[in-house]
Structure 1
Amino acid sequence: MSMMDKIKSMLKGHESQADKGIEKTGDMVDDKTQGKYKGQVDTGQEKMRDQFGGGQGQDRPPQP
């Protein structure tokens, strides 16, 4: 079992908490870099949400 499989199994059922962590981390990086890499950070956040099951659901509207 790979490390990604282990992480996914641990996060299963806790997608909203994972999404909050991804959002907080992205905000922290944006703050530290003064928004210089905002586009790249946003792309990374979306890929993490896709990977770990967060993403756009009923409680998360699409981002512009």
Structure 2
Amino acid sequence: MGIDDMTRKAQQFLGDEKVQNALKSEKAEDVSDRILDGVAGAVNRVTGEKHTDKVEKARAEADKRVGNE
């Protein structure tokens, strides 16, 4: 399977109504919040918290894309 095939299958998967509904669920919101909090915390530790404003802005933008809040 080539990269084009994988890309097409991923787009089809993400375009499915059931998948979209799952991504907008409360469970997805809870999971994504935990993951985003962990990633933001790790980035802040690695950067010595020099870019916390940018990290929080990126975290907030990502959070808008997954879950229901």
What TM bracket, shorter-length normalisation? 0.5 to 0.7
Structure 2, gaps ≥5 residues long:
1-9
1:53 lines up with 2:67 in the alignment: yes
TM-score (norm 1): 0.65
CA contact (8 A) 1:26 1:42 kept: yes
SS at match of 2:49: coil
Give, in angstroms, the shift of residue 54 of structure 1.
Answer: 5.7
CA contact (8 A) 2:44 2:55 kept: yes
Where do residues 3-42 of structure 1 align in structure 2 (5 Å cutoff)?
6=14, 9=20, 11=23, 12=25, 13-42=27-56
Bigger mean CA offset, 19-28 vs 9-18:
9-18
1:43 lines up with 2:54 in the alignment: no
Q: Matched residues, percent identical?
A: 15
The runs of at least 4 aligned residues of structure 1 exceeding 4 Å deviation read: none
In the aligned structure 2, how far is the partner of 1:54 from the partner of 1:44? 17
TM-score (norm 2): 0.61
Larger-Rg structure: 2
Between structures 1 and 2, the one with greater helix share: 2
